[in-house]
A and B are shown apart, each in its own frame.
Chain A
Amino acid sequence: MKKQKSVEGSSSLVHLTEEILFAILDYLHGNPLDKKSFSLTCKSFKAVESRHRKTLKPLRSELLTTILNRYPYVTHIDLSLCPCITDNSLTVISIVCKSTLRSIDLSRSRFFSHVGLSNLVMNCSSLVEVDLSNGTELTDSAAAAIAEAKNLERLWLARCKLISDIGIGCIAVGCRKLRLVSLKWCLGVSDLGVGLLAVKCKEIRSLDLSYLPITKRCLPSILQLQNLEDLVLVGCLGIDDDGLATLKQGCKSLETLDMSSCPNVGRVGLSSLINGAQCLRQLILAYGSPVTLALADSLQKLPKLQSIKLDGCLVTCCGLKAIGNWCVSLKELSLSKCLGVTDEGLSSLVTNHKDLRKIDITCCRKITHVSVVNFTNSCTSLSSLRMESCSLVPKEAFILIGQHCHFLEELDLTDNEIDNEGLKSISRCSKLSSLKLGICLNITDEGLIHVGMCCPKLIELDLYRSVGITDSGIAAIACGCHGLEMINIAYCEKITDSSLRSLSKCSKLNTLESRGCPRISSVGLVAIAVGCKQLSKLDIKKCYNINDAGMLPLAHFSQNLRQINLSYCSITDVGLLALASISCLQSMTILHSRDLTPNGLAAAFLVCGGLTKVKLHASFKTLLPQPFLEHIESRGCVFQWRDKEFQVEVDPKGWKLQLQDTSEF
């Protein structure tokens, strides 16, 4: 299509108005390279594209000035690929963008301080959204600088551990229009700061206070926020029943409440917190107090409740039955890793909530055929089912899933007894987009071929350690599911280059995990590199046959590669150096690649300017010169030193037995 345009010549295209060109550009959002091609067409197209672009996600901070000058109407700058953003960079951005800039994401960037932020906020008066997450070195001064952004509506400060109440106080007073605030992991912020924020910023809709050392004292002012819809109180250990019991009125506008990992909050506290919360739609109580009859009863009076997540809680049969007796009709239920989920409880629940769309019963190891029969019969509109490691569910039960739940889009059957019959039945769910069949030792190509033929919408397929799968199965998938984006064939030892060749037809593939497939070689990798231009994550650990011959084409074709694991591969300095030329590359894991030398590594790291994370064997720490490491680190790269022994792969069945042994003890 792009080609066509250029063939027709720009003469006729110049008559297209800018609006039309903008409309065309609106549709070019799939592949970032499309817009590049568009702007390469002619000067006017380039100008149009420059004016059209609103968001920018630069790879290198060095080129900020240039690209900002090219795109004058950028309103959103995502700097998550630029680990190294200094005060100067921010100043440049602020001067170039001025008041057009509305949003900036600095969550992955470091090396800037309150000075740059202050410049940014001063020059970009219409800033609405700032993400400063992971700013572990930002202090109250930075918060005070942010406080000058009077129009700010959304602010993320997750993990800004140095920011204290004073900084939050400044923000609360300065940014009155805040609608979303995330203070997750801001350990320096206490009741005082949060309380002031709630008092001053009346517009707040969404408030994330996870893991803050707050107590009941800030809750009254929070609950008086008239517009609060989303409140996250994960891991607030200072909040307990006694404190909550004194609350007079819950928040009326609240729609989502996340009280996960609050072990001190039980029935009493919860009921006083949600008292009057007539709009509550979602309640997340993961890893909290036991779900008993009393707790379930206290939640009964929520007329709009649709979703409840009780992951990791101790659940009693009475509790589940009581939930089953609620008048409301739940759409989503999550009992992942709950202890005490039995057939009796779950059956009574699912038979009453026939509207359930999502069920998560991961690791509910007590449920059997009975539960599956009940939920497949009653919840026919199920769209998502996660039942990893339901080890007592027999293979016959999975046939029922395919027979009754035709609307399934997401199915996680990892570590189950499902066999080819079940898989064949499940292939009737033609909307299936995500299918996880990891550690399903009973399935073979036969079943997978059915899936490949009948599930054209499949986007994600996980076959981790499903050792019965061979090339023919993968070929069927690659043939039938053109939209496949992610596939995991790790430790499927029978898979060869032929699978990769077939997968190379999936042009949207962006994640390939083929760890521990010893039969894969450079040939297959080259096919992938040529066919899957979108590839961004590649794990070829323990593919011993992959060498430099694979790396050179990969480096040439996969320009979108972000993350690669090369451990145990047979590559040398040459291959690594070639790989380093991929400009997007951010993360590398290179352990036990014996042919690599410190010099080769050093050269590669120097070339690869965008690296943010490198996992290396600890032995290289002494081999690489310290100043060099410091230099690389100063560019924003983090070294992780691992000291693992060289592992020899074990037999998959033996591996599972080993796993069971360890889990039993």
Chain B
Amino acid sequence: MGSQGGWGQSKEFLDLVKSIGEARSKAEEDRIILREIDTLKRRIAEPDVPRRKMKEYLIRLVYVEMLGHDASFGYIHAVKMTHDDSLLLKRTGYLAVTLFLNEDHDLIILIVNTIQKDLRSDNYLIVCAALTAVCKLINEETIPAVLPQVVELLGHSKEAVRKKAVLALHRFYQRAPNSVSHLISNFRKRLCDNDPGVMGATLCPLFDLIKEDINSYKDLVVSFVSILKQVAERRLPKTYDYHQMPAPFIQIKLLKILALLGSGDKQASGHMYTILGDIFRKSEPSSNIGNAVLYECICCVSSIFPNPKLLEAAVEATSRFLKSDSHNLKYMGIDALGRLIKINPDIAEEHQLAVIDCLEDPDDTLKRKTFELLYKMTKSSNVEVIVDRMIDYMRSINDNHYKTEIASRCVELAEQFAPSNQWFIQTMNKVFEHAGDLVNVRVAHNLMRLIAEGFGEDDEGADSQLRSSAVDSYLCILGEPKLPSVFLQVICWVLGEYGTTDGKYSASYIIGKLCDVAEAHSTDDTVKAYTISAIMKICAFEIAVGRKVELLPECQSLIDELSASHSTDLQQRAYELQALLGLDSQAVESVMPSDASCEDIEIDKNLSFLDSFVNQSMEKGARPYIPENERSGMFNIGNFRSQYQHEASSHSLRFEAYELPKPSPPPTIPQVVLPLPTTDLVPVPEQTYPRETHHAPNLPSATDASSVDFGVKLRLEGVQRKWGRPTYSSPSASSSSSTQKTANGATHLDGRTVSSQTRDNFYDSRKQQAEVSAEKQKLAASLFGASTAKSEKRQLPTHKTPKGVPTTAEKPAVKGAISSSEPPKEKTVPSSPPPDLLDLGEPTPASTPSIDPFKQLEGLLGPTSAPSAIDHSSAAGPKTPDLMALYTDTPPAAVSSGSLNPELADIYTVNKNSHGTTNVAAMNKGQNRQDSLQKDATARQVGVTPTENNPSLFRDLLG
């Protein structure tokens, strides 16, 4: 057939393409494009550029943008081109516009009119071109301009138009679901379209709709099942086949939809069992596309209500994937395994070695997928091995996106399954050390809370042991260079709270360490704030027990430095510390109580402690407080937002009178009320600091409010809302996770040491070869474990249950559920009548389109086209197997499988006999080769040398 349309391009275009093709570096390519931009700017502005010439310019502009340069100077010409009458030029215009502009570009408005006109065209190809443009160019605002026409086109006589109209509607749904909510039923109607292409395309919007609202589409289950059945039974035209599979892409889409509809729905799933079984049976494991369908089938089976027979088939297919040599299939197998173990965790055991192979494979993609699987199968018995592996891997990766993900997974698993507190803290230390800057701050706060609150059990001894071990490890870690800021904050906080608690370290030692931290991170204000607060706490604890604090010189210089800091926060902390040092032990004790981080802070919402002060002022003649929203002539500034808006708007002229100036805040005298100095001295009490920050605003409210309030009693209606509702972090919520953590004792630790011992034994006794596999088996054993510990879950109230019991308890439960699902399956088989494809209750007569629409079309084109049609179909015949032969991924084993047609097998044998592969190509692709030779010759004629020795895409695959 050759390249149709010929080489109609100008010499200039050919030269451009040639030079781009031959460019050896990005810099060279950039030079070519910059020169081209200059040329185009000149040419495109010339008067009376011929339309064909303009089309070529547009393609050149597309090149300019594709290679990363701005072509905005030519956008308007692309827009103009869409007005052209010629189909090719119009479609090129639309193409250029869709490539250049996003839907919110200013020029789009100039196209809406053209689109409207084209949607009314008699030429269905123009309508199609317009609909394609609609999908890319129409934004939410312009939807109404074309919506009626698009809806009308859903009933067009040409299937190509109907298909594109469905997708235009789909696009509107994606953009603005509300704009088409009343038209959703059209998708259901088009599912019954006579044309399989329209039906197949309709599955895309339906999939999106079903994902949003599964229950509204349960009635379609039977229809989807019957369509799938008919597709699988090859009732669609042959032209939809791909590598001998009947319409595999439609099958896959249907399986995706069924997986959604059958999820957790026994009845709906019942309808699907038969067809899924059929697909498993018919599957062609020798081809890639067959495996794609198979994989989708596994996904579907693991999503719907479980059926033992199907699960068995799915497991079998999965194990075939895992055993395959192809990395792609292994990848799919690992993914499938991750889905299946949700139904039955035992499945993983059989494949432990395959999984470990994938885990240790140098292929990063495979490794990541396997980590995902491990993450899914983590339980308390294997959490240590898995998290250790994850952390090891985390160290080696540079991709921050993935590092963040895997770090948060480590944290999640550690929080959920930690076998001991010690282990938890060590794990967190490692995570922070290697990915500290990527971890969510919340994780740091959780860790601090955990150390402070202990593990929820009333065992103070264990808690304090935990704390001192944390302090030990942190003092050790502090020696390392370059610690992430978040981690340092945790360290400082813990050292401040518990550094001196157990008496192992002296105050001056800890303070010295903290000063070092502040010095080493002089640019990080947050860390410095944490250090100074920690120093303050340690000093306070010392003073409280009656010891005298002798400040180290470096500490004194730190305080001096921070007192003069640019950061007011640091300044304040430094001054507070200095003030604290001057107080006596009793005052200090009430200001900074020891180990008070877990105490609930009582907040007097009514600020009743100010009552006496308010009364005093009233007696002196102050006016009572009027809540702001009750004041006349003022906006309702009940909350922050409107206040800000108010301030923002006050830049313009104000027409109403200014309100009376508020009295200036009187100095708050500390000795009036006792609790006040506490809050005044430490506006941000240290115990609240590391917790959720919303504590902070509550306290300053005391002083703040006093500046405005002069009533008999404080009226807080207006005030309270201003600071928002007081929220406390409920200790119960925060500790729920930590209580769970304690459930498992140190038994696992023991198990681990034993295993490492045995490992040592292995090293001693075995040979190198054996060692590797022994190592693997060891890993397998620790990952998949003695199956006994398997179902030991956190939620279980007792972890002391004899091993083995939970498993046996769970297995029958699963089995029971499965077997109970069998009867409906048997029942539904005969009850669901196999309706014809596309005959889904629509009045339209059911007719399987057996006529090839292509031939119909060709027939319309007049006498000249008739022979070409024949030519085409005859050419297509031998060509398909040709492709198959060259098809890279077809494993050689496929030949022996005998499922391929004899022609193909021939090719393979020829291949074997004549060692030269190109020979085969010559023999089998004779005509094609001539074609390409001719093409090469043409290319050379016009002065283009192909960059490759072997220009054909397929040819290289033989070598």
A and B assemble together: no
Binding site for B on A (CB under 8 A): none
